[in-house]
Amino acid sequence: MTSNAYRRYVLGALAVTFAFVWLDRSLIMLLLQPIKEDLRVSDAQLGFVSGIAFALFYATVGLPISRWADTGNRVSITSIAIATWGVTVSMCLFVGNFFHLVVARVFAAVGEAGCMPPTYSLLGDYFPKPAERARAMSVYWIAAPIAPVLGFIAGGYVAERYGWRMTFLLAGLLALLVAIVFRMTVRDPRMNASSLQAPPQQPRRFVDVGRALWNRASSRHLTIGMILFFTMAQGMNPWYAAFMMRSHGMSTSELGVWLGMIFAIGGVAGTWLGGYVVARWYADNERGQIRLISIMVASLAPWFILFLLLPRKEHTLAVLFPLIVAFNFFNGPIFAMLQRLVADEMRARALAVVMMLANLIGMGIGPQLIGIFSDLLMPRLGPDSLRYAMLGTSLITLWAAHQFWQVSHTVKSDLSDVAQRARYCPDAAQFPAEIDDAVRLR
């Protein structure tokens, strides 16, 4: 029997390892402008490095890793992934041109891709009940806003004095230390129980996982909504700091402190509120959960308009705080709901399929489009070209909110269907179209 204290430790360890995904992205966000000036590259090239070059490998490598995570030792997988990322970003010390930068980001994507599927799956085993899983998922996602404290504040300080290459080197060394501690202290429940029970049946192909997601209206609209949300989110992420530097004249160290505080405090507040409100007032009301998420996502559009159009940096930074709170409200409840809409034994692969699509489209296309439009608008708008390229992308939030609202119409019946199929026919949740009659007869 696993003690509550150890489960809390594991949850903290999972959050710390997941934080390296966001540490990497916060560093790229903060250092994009110094990299541009040092390597003399265009916005379109920066969009390629932070978008397609990274997303293509991050998304596609995530598929075989998630398959491994559904059957293998998830602690070992996570440790190897973090160590790979650490070695790769340390090698940024030797980046001297655009090609070197692309290679570095590609290999960083490979390491980063191995962090989320196994840790996401482990969390489901340590916290199996729906209410505690939603709370645990929110704690796990607190890594997203906490990581910028280190990324923005410490990264801004180091970059200002020693350059962006040294910043990546120190982050890589920290990752190697965390990988060692994680491997030595965290246990995979599946490995401990392997001698006592047979391993669960697994869907043989990713197309089966995709079919299971598509055949249910709730998971279909949820997936589309997440793809749209991440297209906006991943498209905007690399450009916040560059926008503040160009449009408001802020330095790297000054911006690092402000973004670090805003992303950390606002992100923790939003993530905690999302988990708390859902667990406290909507624990048995999945329809209400989804509609609340939809409203919060829709509210991002007016916040973004204010953030991008207000003329003074003080007002812009003030608006960024509630924007980040609303942004992070989404995380815990929506990922917990995704787990509940699929069979337990396909959690990692379902996440990999959804995130592959979200990252290929969102992370791959989003930053690239903003970079291209910024370059196209540059002759007419000058430094403000980035402002309006980001403004157009931010409106995707309204479409994403509509898709989440659609989930609310069918989520109750679909969750009941998943539970019934898992009870009467373990393979039912994986291949719903083939066993409808069998479930009805029972």
Three-class DSSP category at 285: coil
- By residue range, what is the domain housing residue 427? 11-187+206-432
Q: What percent of the chain has pLDDT over 90?
A: 6
In a domain, 6, yes or no: no
CB 431, CB 212: distance < 8 Å: yes
> What pLDDT sits at residue 399?
92
Mean pLDDT of 237-249: 82
In a domain, 161, yes or no: yes
> What pLDDT sits at residue 302?
92
Mean pLDDT of 184-195: 73
Say if residue 432's pLDDT is above 90.
Answer: no
> Six-digit token pair at 261?
């505080």
Q: How confident is the model at residue 422 (pLDDT cuts 50, 70, 90)?
A: low
Q: How far apart are CA 350 and CA 355, in angstroms?
A: 9
The CATH number covering residue 376 comes to 1.20.1250.20
Q: How far apart are CA 432 and CA 442, in angstroms?
A: 15
Chain length of the chain: 442
> What pLDDT sits at residue 181?
92
Q: How far apart are CA 273 and CA 262, in angstroms?
A: 16
What are the strands, taking DSSP E only, across 168-324? none
> Six-digit token pair at 418?
């998943």
CB 259, CB 384: distance < 8 Å: no
Say if residue 72's pLDDT is above 70.
Answer: yes
Q: How does pLDDT run across 280-325, given as a tens digit for each residue?
A: 787 777 788 888 888 888 999 999 999 999 888 889 999 999 898 8
Question: Domain count of the chain?
Answer: 1
> Six-digit token pair at 11?
């949850």
> What pLDDT sits at residue 193?
54
- CA dihedral sign of residues 267, 270, 272, 275: negative
Among 159-168, 331-340, 360-369, 422-431, name the one with the lowest average pLDDT.
422-431
Say if residue 196's pLDDT is above 50.
Answer: no
> What pLDDT sits at residue 418?
66
In a domain, 194, yes or no: no
In a domain, 77, yes or no: yes
In a domain, 198, yes or no: no
DSSP notation for 371-420? HHHHHHHHHHHGGGHHHHHHHHHHTHHHHHHHHHHHHTTTHHHHHHHHHH
Q: What percent of the chain has pLDDT over 70?
A: 84
DSSP notation for 38-57? HHT--HHHHHHHHTHHHHHH
In a domain, 199, yes or no: no
Mean pLDDT of 374-381: 84
Q: CA angle, 119 as apex, 193 and 107 as ends, to 5°?
A: 125
Q: How does pLDDT run across 99-124, given as a tens digit for each residue?
A: 888 888 887 877 777 777 788 778 87
Q: Which residues of 234-246 are buried (b: 16+ CB within 10 A; e: fewer)?
A: bbbbbbbbbbbbb
Q: Which residue has the tokens 């402008």?
A: 33
In a domain, 401, yes or no: yes
Among 10-19, 37-46, 188-197, name the one with the lowest average pLDDT.
188-197
Name the more confident of 222 and 132.
Answer: 222
Q: How confident is the model at residue 236 (pLDDT cuts 50, 70, 90)?
A: confident
Q: How far apart are CA 127 and CA 137, in angstroms?
A: 9
Say if residue 167's pLDDT is above 80.
Answer: yes
DSSP state of 141: H
Q: Which residue has the tokens 């980040």?
A: 324
In a domain, 441, yes or no: no
Mean pLDDT of 330-335: 75
Among 42-56, 86-100, 202-216, 225-239, name the one with the lowest average pLDDT.
202-216
Name the more confident of 360 and 162.
Answer: 162
> What pLDDT sits at residue 126?
87
> What pLDDT sits at residue 424?
54
Q: How far apart are CA 289 and CA 304, in angstroms?
A: 23
User: How many other CB atoms are found less than 10 A from the CB of residue 14?
Assistant: 25
pTM > 0.85: no
